Amino acid sequence: MTVPWDPRLESWLTRYPALRAIGQTPLVPVPLFRDELPEVEVFAKMESLNPGGSLKDRPVLRMLLGALDDGRLRRGQTVLDSSSGNAGIAYAMIGRLLGLPVEIVIPDNASAERKKRMRAHGARLIVTDALLGYDEALREVGRRAKSDPEKYFHCDQYSNDDNWRAHYETTAEEILEQTGGRLTHVVAGVGTGGTITGLGRRLKEHDARIRIISVLPEAFPGVEGLKPLGRPEDIVPAILDQSVIDEFVPVSVDDSYTMCRRLAESGFFVGQSSGAYLAGVEKIARRERQGRFVTLFNDLGERYFSTRLWD
Selected residue with higher pLDDT from 233 and 13: 13
Position 1 pLDDT exceeds 60: no
Specify whether the CB–CB gap between 8 and 69 falls below 8 A: yes
Q: How confident is the model at residue 220 (pLDDT cuts 50, 70, 90)?
A: low
**Residues identified as active-site:** 56
In sequence order, the 6+-apart residues with CB closer than 8 A to the CB of 180 are: none
CATH class of 57-154: alpha beta
Q: What is the pLDDT of residue 306?
A: 85
- Residues of each domain in the chain carrying CATH 3.40.50.1100: 14-52+164-310, 57-154
Specify whether the CB–CB gap between 21 and 58 falls below 8 A: no
Q: What is the pLDDT of residue 245?
A: 98
Selected residue with higher pLDDT from 242 and 130: 242
Gap between the Cα atoms of 62 and 67, Å rounded: 8
pLDDT, tens digit, 9 for 90 and up, residues 118-127 = 999 999 999 9
Position 111 pLDDT exceeds 90: no
Q: What value does the mean pLDDT take over residues 262-287?
A: 97
Comparing 5-9, 176-180, 201-205, the range with the smallest average pLDDT is: 5-9
- Could you tell me the fold of the domain covering 14-52+164-310? Rossmann fold (3.40.50)
Q: What is the mean pLDDT of the chain?
A: 94
- To the nearest whole percent, how much of the chain has pLDDT over 70? 98
- pTM higher than the cut 0.85: yes
- To the nearest whole percent, how much of the chain has pLDDT over 90? 82
Q: What value does the mean pLDDT take over residues 229-250?
A: 90
Count of alpha carbons within 13 angstroms of residue 302, beta-carbon side: 6
Q: Which helix (H) or strand (E) holds 295?
A: strand 291-297
